[in-house]
Amino acid sequence: MNFSTRPELAGTFGMVSSTHWLPSQVGMGVLERGGNAFDAAVAAGFTLQVVEPHQNGPGGDLPLIFARGDDKKPTVLCAQGPAPAGATREAFAALDIDMVPGTGPLATAIPGATLGWMTFLRDHGTISLQDALSPAASYAEDGFPAAAKVVEYIGRMEPMFREHWQPSADLYLPDGKVPEAGQMLVNKALARTYRRLMEAETSALDDGGTREDGIDAAIAEWTEGFVAESITEFVKTPWRDSTGKNHAGFLNREDMASWRPHYEEPQTFEFEGHTVCKAGFWSQGPVFLQQLALLDGMDVKPGTADGIHKILEATKLAFADRDAWYGDSDDVPGQTLLSADYADERRRLIADEASLEIRPGSPDGRNPILPNLEVKGDFDAIGLNGVGEPNAVAALLDSGPKANGEARSDTVHVDVVDRWGNMVSAMPSGGWLHSSPVIPELGFPLGTRLQMAWLEEGLPNTLSPGKRPRTTLSPTLVCKDGEPVLAFGSPGGDQQDQWQLHFLLNHLLGGMNLQEAIDAPSFHSTHFPSSFFPHEHQLGVVLIEQRVGDEVLTELKARGHRVARAGDWEIGRLCAVSRDPETGMLHAGANPRGMQGYAVGR
């Protein structure tokens, strides 16, 4: 039996796993009152907006993958908003900006998260918007205990709030100071926003409308009513961003009214008798599938130096293809990228020694084009003469935002499965408290997803109005014999499809249960460029939890990997739920790192 920090949950009624204990319990409460998995996910998702404002918000983004218990068909809901009409390369050039900033209104895509949750509830839920939103509204109105990370992020942002983002200071510095961990935080303005959406629903129902009509009325308030109005007025004001200057944004009411979330089929790959489902090439999701394709048929033993080496080399190759080929474009050679022949060709590049090159492939004989890349760190100067020694490699690590708000990975996650076999994996993110100033009337900041698009011409992910920036958000759903059996995901930006891969390999190849697979020592590569401004990377560097053991660390170094030690429990934030169609047994696990994520169920 493998080690686990807590038991894998088991039952037959329902399971909810999320990155915060309060949304998990809110979701479970919805299941207990007769709601389905989709109702529970929406209620948990709205609650996540309130209690993890440093990791997501109403102005952010949302992709999710789900399967209904009746038709079993895995489906993606894309609530990743595209670039506004005014967000052109020429507009940035006129501002003398050659890279989309990591903070501020210039980097704002059309916000999709709240709109996505309402759309999903309308189409696949059973409860009213009021039932789904009321817990979140209550936490915003009456307060919630601030987790240590929220306080840490506010502390990092305090100078920016005081000097440049006064509305954020008014909200996040109660009594004029950084709150303490465990202190009750309130957001009265956000509570009012939620209640106005609920009032729109109630008014439509009072006029004889259906449940769907009520939710549509709330959607109209978001896209064309008071929310769109407040956002439009707010972004007209120049605000300080990561360029060090003040800029107004491009988003306006016409943008808000013009776009809606939509459903699409997932990209899939067959691995070990399972069908793994991800969002399309407008996300980084297929890089997960490319890694599986490269590893398929190889002798991979999770947790061993040889297994970790093979995984890392497959990761480098797959992510090189991500940066050369992925984007919201009809020109992505997706079928070839996921083909067995292409994987066979690329797999031959995996040697016994670590590669220090970025090597995208040439699907269909096409020449890859990479964006200009910024390598971080002078490794000769840093020194590589001993794992864990004082002059060993210092890897890029998500340690929270810089003083100007720049951050590499801030996201939440929720998975739900119910007794009817409905299953959903959702990855909301963006609209962080450090991304942009709070809109006073609404109680939340806008997102900065456009920072993931490039201003260089001719790339699949080049910025263009109406085009989705290639997102790191990447939920996962797995089917077996046509039945949904597993939903999981992890925050972590570019690490999402690394940590999730290791979890699945631990589970399918290592024979670990969900909690054991989550708890196993984690690692990731920083070899390829970050999707976040300023797109740094470190050739050949792997960051790994040191409890993997000195023998493994030493062998990885001997193979040429530039090894950086992380703390024993420092990286990875997995959530997972599963269902056995034959027995009806449900299981769940959640990440213990950070002492915040929990699964609940029975």
The whole-number pLDDT of residue 389 equals: 45
How far apart CA 80 and CA 63 sit, in angstroms, is 6
The whole-number pLDDT of residue 249 equals: 97
CB 72 within 8 A of CB 482: yes
The whole-number pLDDT of residue 102 equals: 94
**Mean pLDDT, rounded, for 10-18:** 98
pLDDT digits (tens, 9 = 90+) for 110-129: 999 999 999 999 999 999 99
* Residue 232 one-letter amino acid: T
**Mean pLDDT, rounded, for 139-143:** 98
How many Cα atoms occupy the beta-carbon half-sphere of 556 within 13 Å? 34
CB 480 within 8 A of CB 273: yes
CA of 443: how far to CAs of 421, 435, 446, in Å? 36, 14, 10
pLDDT digits (tens, 9 = 90+) for 578-592: 999 999 999 999 999
DSSP state of 106: G
How far apart CA 363 and CA 455 sit, in angstroms, is 24
- Does an H or E element contain 294, and which? helix 286-295
* Backbone CA torsion sign across 48, 51, 53, 59: positive
Tokens representing residue 241 in the block: 């961003």
Tokens representing residue 104 in the block: 């501020």
CB 33 within 8 A of CB 126: no
**Mean pLDDT, rounded, for 475-481:** 98
Tokens representing residue 11 in the block: 């039952």
**Which residue from 75, 11, 13, 17 is spatially nearest to 415, judged by alpha carbons?**
17
User: Per-residue DSSP letters for 526-553?
Assistant: --S--SSTT-EE-TTEEEEEGGG-HHHH
CB 493 within 8 A of CB 472: yes
- Contacts of residue 67, defined as CB under 8 A and 6 or more positions apart, other chains included, come to 73, 74, 75, 422, 423, 424, 477, 479, 484
Residue 229: helix, strand or coil by DSSP? Answer: helix
Using a 10 angstrom Cβ sphere, with 0-12 exposed, 13-18 middle and 19 or more buried, the burial of residue 3 is: exposed
How far apart CA 129 and CA 127 sit, in angstroms, is 7
CB atoms < 10 A from the CB of 585, how many?
12
Confidence category of residue 410, pLDDT binned at 50, 70, 90: confident
Tokens representing residue 117 in the block: 């949750």
CB 157 within 8 A of CB 460: no
Cross-sheet strand order for the sheet of 262-264: 262-264, 75-79, 62-67, 423-426, 414-418, 14-18, 598-601
**Mean pLDDT, rounded, for 526-554:** 93
Strands (E), 84-155: 144-145
CB atoms < 10 A from the CB of 353, how many?
12
The whole-number pLDDT of residue 206 equals: 97
**Mean pLDDT, rounded, for 286-309:** 97
The whole-number pLDDT of residue 396 equals: 59
Q: Report the share of the chain in percent with pLDDT over 90.
A: 91
DSSP state of 399: -
pLDDT digits (tens, 9 = 90+) for 80-110: 999 999 999 999 999 999 999 999 999 999 9
DSSP state of 245: S
pLDDT digits (tens, 9 = 90+) for 229-270: 999 999 999 999 999 999 999 999 999 999 999 999 999 999
Indicate if the pLDDT at residue 406 is higher than 90: no
**Which residue from 575, 524, 555 is spatially nearest to 311, judged by alpha carbons?**
524
CB 100 within 8 A of CB 106: yes
Indicate if the pLDDT at residue 171 is higher than 50: yes
The whole-number pLDDT of residue 372 equals: 79
How far apart CA 521 and CA 590 sit, in angstroms, is 14
CA of 64: how far to CAs of 92, 120, 194, in Å? 31, 9, 22
Q: Which residue has the tokens 């919201």?
A: 328
CB 184 within 8 A of CB 143: yes
**Mean pLDDT, rounded, for 324-343:** 96
- Does an H or E element contain 357, and which? none
In total, the chain counts a number of residues equal to: 602
Confidence category of residue 371, pLDDT binned at 50, 70, 90: confident
Indicate if the pLDDT at residue 147 is higher than 80: yes
Ramachandran bin of 290, using left for φ above 0, alpha for ψ from -120 to 50, beta for the remaining angles: alpha
The whole-number pLDDT of residue 536 equals: 87
pLDDT digits (tens, 9 = 90+) for 187-224: 999 999 999 999 999 999 999 999 999 999 999 999 99
Indicate if the pLDDT at residue 443 is higher than 90: yes
- Min mean pLDDT across 24-38, 125-139, 403-417, 497-511 is at 403-417
pLDDT digits (tens, 9 = 90+) for 376-402: 554 433 333 333 443 456 665 555 677
Domain boundaries, the chain: 288-404+491-578
Return mean pLDDT, the chain: 94
How far apart CA 486 and CA 332 sit, in angstroms, is 28
288-404+491-578 — its CATH code? 1.10.246.130
